[in-house]
Structure 1
Amino acid sequence: MRKVLLILDGIVAKEFVATLTHKHFDKNSYIFVSLDKELLPAHSKHNETYQFDPCSSHRLKEILTPQITDCYIITDQVQERAIIYTIIRKFSKNIQIHLLGKIPLDEEDNHLIMINEAAFLSAKLFENFPNTPRIAKNIGLQEGEIMQVNVPFGSPYAYRPFGIIKQKKWKIAAIYRSNELILPKYSTTILPNDSLLLVGDPTTLWDIYRRIKEEVGQFPTPFGKDIVLYIDMLHCQYLDSCIQQTLWLFNKFKNKRLHLCFFNANSFEKLESLKNNPALNKDNIAWGVEFYENSLIKIIQKDKKAKNIGLILLESSLLKKYQTFLFSLGIPLLKLNNTALDSLKTSVVIIPKNTEEAEKISSVVFDFSTQIGLQIKLYDFDPDGNYHKEAINYYEHTAKIFDKKIEILRSNTINPIFWLNREKQILQILPLKNTKKSIWSSLTDAESLSVKLSNIPQLFIPLSI
């Protein structure tokens, strides 16, 4: 639930509040501020109301809190808009501000959207002008097959390359960004605040809309919907444990499908045990034994054609053997070992040298951790003490959106690998990159060394295919 600050004055504000309280009042938490008492709704569990002049810097600062994620400045007083905006922006550079009208800016603000009243009213009038195209709602079947959706911060679609999003029965036809039209290519990355023009089956589009807007409980979307466990029965050290962990994890997800694939079968006793396991005989769970193929590469290549794979689970020894191939798939990987997932307490992100990579996996970090009930730790290591402030600020802002606390650890002496080795009940989440490095450079790279750890579960999140 987002916390929204509304600064209100004038006729437009009155209409806005009436619509908000009538249709959408239970969607967020609100703070209403106005000098006009008639614009303040009745106090309830969803809102706080304050009657004072919002141009008063002292009074406004008293109610500003780090939990506020969005602000709407709706006033017909031109000078007041600039004053209120300046007060809020001095408090936080990350609050998303929607402002009615235009104000002069000293510098670019990517978290500000200004709505031009004259242009908006002109466009509405022009819709009924003769011999001109209609807007989307008046085109086609008029059943919702064309939809425009804004991508919020924390969305599972934010920072995702266009090419890795599975689009069946629907398509992203265009992206609007900073008042520009972008026709997406395979490598185009979707960013927060982008507006997506979607075309497809109306029912499917409403499902996609909910996936884009709902910030928790979506993973492994948008990578795919199927979760697949691969087990090499000949070499697996923790067969029963891997199955139990997979079933436990799957029960934490919603509206997904689970497939268990066993190959290199070497024991009739094990096969009989699988057959008699009641937990495997459910509607949304399927399992099978591959008798004619013992190469994981060929098995996955076949499965990719038949399944919408969004997450692959496998034992650490199997990941080590097929690492190059698995990392090239562009599909999230969860490495399992004998540490039970239900015993974990914390998910850990080691801030990488390229801090943008940490930001790109942030939505999955929060979504996955929330779904299975893990606390989040960020480990920021730099021998020179030049810590990654921008990445930390980004995670702190995202934490507000997900309403989740994070713990930040900084060190200039304790190597992340040593720190990971001594921690208990943790799962590491890290970017999945199929990079080729020399043996000498990989020895000094914490991410490359992390992959070799076998004592902790790890979730690898792809940045692109």
Structure 2
Amino acid sequence: MIKDILILADNPIVKSFLEWTLKEKVIDNRYTIVSLSRDIILDNNRLIYKNIDPTSYNKLLNITKEKSYSSVFILMNSIDDTNYTLSNMRKIDTKIPIFLLDSWGLDYSNEELSNLNIINMKQIISSHLYHKLPNVPLIAQNIGLGDGEIMEVLVPYGSNFAYRHIGSITQRKWKIVAIYRNRKQIIPSAGTMIRPSDTMIIIGRPIVLHGIYKSINERLGEFPNPFGDNIYLILDLSKDIKHAMRYLLEAIYLLDKLNNKILKVRIINATNFALMREIKSYRRDDIDISISYGNKDFQSIIEYDIYENSIGVMLSSVDTINSNNFNKIIYNLKKMLYIFGETPLYNIRNSQILICDNSAYMESVSSSVFDISQTLKLSLNISNYAIEDYILSVDLYPKLLIPT
């Protein structure tokens, strides 16, 4: 269906605007241009020119009686002409959508804004310049709410998101909706792997997206991203009482090796009050210790802790995980799990990757493996083994399980 558009203009930008409409081949629109300028004329049968003063009320009234216009664009070159033209259109039709180019930062707060759309030229130019700066996310401004809920992000080399399957990244209050790679669009699934130089379209709450943008652009040294930000130590004193203090010191050792992280300690089945006092003496600004007494729904408590504290890696013993049936919740939450061994973390000097013959899996864990090895200054060895299913057992050395 053909729609008629009325353009009231004496601003030179109108010629560029018309060239855009013709270049984009929007064939269902027809334009009537009211202007005294002869410099804006283009040869096209969808453009109708009227050499009339666009600020004249009577002449505008006659033009609007000729046909029904779906919208009006006001592109004037002075403040007075802009205001006269707007006032005249309001008198003629109070319901027609009006798009007004504002080059001066005018105040239209007293206007009925339900069908008045202000295009602030200064803001548009400033926004374009701002988004050319490094470390500034590109947000969609002409679709959706335009508040930053749609964002385009380039995945740099060394990003914690590179070589990650989308299904292994917690997308809470945000989502990856499209990936562009080699000038082709990919509608991602859980099995889609993110690669360096991919451009991702993400949607969500603006404040969340700014945090995600920062995480995507962080290089190695930000472990445990992209699984989360902080560390979580689970101590079940009915199982861990002999090694509780060592486990706490290992967690603090890891915390002190990382940048700007928080250690959340959750103690369950608390019965030894002397040990509790000793553990609580380690509280500090970046160490939060919470205690659960009695028989409670520990799985719900742990799930709440993980979401509330943006946990990326969990530390626990085999006995605590198996006796409380935490295996399933850990698997479903797709967080890294550090399992304590007989050798403390602070005495480890080498890291070993045991991996099945699966290059995709290797790529998906590579960022996290190299990151933690670099952070703890561990030499890294990679070995090809046939790894059995998800089985937890006590070993001489600790294990770091990375979800995919």
Q: TM-score range, shorter-chain basis?
A: 0.5 to 0.7
Q: CA RMSD in A?
A: 3.4
**1:25-424 mapped onto 2 (5 Å cutoff):** 129-130=20-21, 139=142, 146-167=150-171, 170-199=174-203, 205-236=209-240, 237-275=242-280, 277=281, 279-280=282-283, 282-293=284-295, 296-304=298-306, 306-321=308-323, 322=325, 324-325=327-328, 326-380=330-384
Give the SS at the match of 1:287: strand
* Cα distance in 2 between the residues matched to 1:127 and 1:203: 37
* Cα distance in 2 between the residues matched to 1:302 and 1:213: 28
Q: Deviations over 1:7-51 (max 9, x none)?
A: xxxxxxxxxxxxxxxxxxxxxxxxxxxxxxxxxxxxxxxxxxxxx
Larger Cα-atom Rg: 2
Q: Deviations over 1:404-457 (max 9, x none)?
A: xxxxxxxxxxxxxxxxxxxxxxxxxxxxxxxxxxxxxxxxx4445984352101
TM-score by length of 2: 0.58
* Cα distance in 1 between the residues matched to 2:369 and 2:342: 22
Give the SS at the match of 1:130: helix
Percent identical: 31
Deviation at 1:224, TM superposition (A): 1.6
Note if contact 1:293-1:299 (Cα within 8 Å) is conserved in structure 2: no
Deviation at 1:298, TM superposition (A): 4.1
Deviation at 1:146, TM superposition (A): 4.7
Match of 1:452 in 2: 393
Q: Which residue identity lines up with residue 228 of structure 1 in the other structure? A: Y
* Cα distance in 1 between the residues matched to 2:399 and 2:336: 10
Q: Which residue identity lines up with residue 377 of structure 1 in the other structure? A: N
Note if contact 1:219-1:368 (Cα within 8 Å) is conserved in structure 2: yes
* Cα distance in 2 between the residues matched to 1:149 and 1:370: 26
Structure 1 window deviating more from structure 2 (164-173 vs 282-291): it is 164-173
Note if contact 1:319-1:335 (Cα within 8 Å) is conserved in structure 2: no
* Cα distance in 1 between the residues matched to 2:383 and 2:161: 25
Change (3 A) 1:370 1:317: same
Structure 1 portions without partners, runs of 5+: 1-124, 382-444
Structure 2 portions without partners, runs of 5+: 1-15, 27-123, 129-138
Deviation at 1:258, TM superposition (A): 1.6
Deviation at 1:372, TM superposition (A): 1.6
Q: Deviations over 1:74-112 (max 9, x none)?
A: xxxxxxxxxxxxxxxxxxxxxxxxxxxxxxxxxxxxxxx
Deviation at 1:172, TM superposition (A): 2.8
Q: Which residue identity lines up with residue 157 of structure 1 in the other structure? A: F
Q: Which residue identity lines up with residue 226 of structure 2 in the other structure? A: P
Q: Which residue identity lines up with residue 367 of structure 1 in the other structure? A: D
* Cα distance in 1 between the residues matched to 2:348 and 2:215: 27
Change (3 A) 1:456 1:288: same
* Cα distance in 2 between the residues matched to 1:214 and 1:295: 36
Deviation at 1:296, TM superposition (A): 4.5
Change (3 A) 1:339 1:143: same
Note if contact 1:160-1:189 (Cα within 8 Å) is conserved in structure 2: yes
Note if contact 1:242-1:337 (Cα within 8 Å) is conserved in structure 2: no
